[in-house]
Amino acid sequence: MTQAARKTKNTDDGPKRPAKELVYDYVRARILNGEWRGGDFIEEKIVSEAVGVSRTPVREALHRLQGDHYISLTPRRGAVVRQITAQELIEVYESRRLIEAHAMQRICQEKLPIPGILHELYDKMCVTSKSQDFVQRAEYDQEFHRNIVATINNAVLVELYGSLQVRQQRVAIAAMRVQPARAEIIDQEHKDLIIALENFDEAAAINIITRHLRPVLDVVSRLPV
């Protein structure tokens, strides 16, 4: 059993976690880190043995993973890791542009102060750019943009934006793996975005987010349609 698998199991160091949550985290981590790629089959028996639980919590976790768009469950074939497609990437970026541009317009027009945590998240993303820890970077990136959307205090919009979370994270990781050199460009765009929003410069903010969330042809061309 791998070290990662052993760490997934409950220990005596803290409160026991439900078995289905352990399985969920185990499978999710391997999808995000690229160990299990789009089209790979996930065998219940292997997961059950790796995490040290029965088949029942494995099945429960797989159904949740399907609901969160990580996998697909098909009759007689079982669980398959969902492939990020070029069309999905384009649609995720388009949806994010609509929501985030609206949030930035309101921030600038109503002069709403952005949260200070954006600076901290920017610094953390710069660190992950050097280490090429794409999974951690995607989490920081997601939190960065979510905080911007949350600034306008529209709970429904925040919930809608949150529904893109899984796709957003997987798309970001897939894009960075194809073009890791873009990390520095993205970091600069984040920095410029903070400055524009702090100055309530709507035109600059919209220009930056439009460029920031524009699908890169080299990335799109390497994904299945």
Q: Residues 116-159: pLDDT tens digits?
A: 999 999 999 999 988 889 999 999 999 999 999 999 999 999 99
Same domain membership, residue 92 and residue 150: yes
Looking up residue 14, the CATH number of its domain turns out to be 1.10.10.10
Mean pLDDT of the chain: 90
| DSSP secondary structure, 149-201, as one string | HHTT--HHHHHHHHTTHHHHHHHHHHHHHH-GGGHHHHHHHHHHHHHHHHTT-
Q: Are residues 167 and 189 in the same domain?
A: yes
| Cβ atoms of residues 125 and 137 within 8 Å | yes
91 and 34 inside one domain: no
Judgement on whether residues 103 and 46 belong to the same structural domain of the protein: no
Residue ending a domain, among 36, 52, 81, is: 81
Q: Which residue has the tokens 């100055």?
A: 199
For residue 74, give the 3-state DSSP assignment. strand
Token pair belonging to 185: 């460009």
* Confidence (pLDDT) at 77: 82
pLDDT at 13: 53
Question: What is the pLDDT at residue 6?
Answer: 40
> Which one of 43, 61, 81 terminates a domain?
81
Which range marks the domain in which residue 34 is found? 3-81
Tokens (6 digits) for 42 = 């996930």
The verdict on 183 and 168 lying in the same domain is yes
**Residues ≥6 apart with Cβ < 8 Å to 51:** 5, 8, 9, 19, 22, 23, 26, 58
Q: What is the CATH number of the domain that holds 184?
A: 1.20.120.530
Quick one: 56 and 12 in the same domain?
A: yes
pTM: 0.85
pLDDT tens-digit profile of 75-117? 888 899 998 888 988 999 999 999 999 999 999 999 999 999 9
Last residue in a domain, options 51, 66, 81: 81
> Which residues lie below 8 Å from residue 203, measured CB to CB, with a gap of 6+?
none
The dihedral built from the CA positions of residue 174, 178, 180 and 182, taken in this order, carries a sign that is: negative
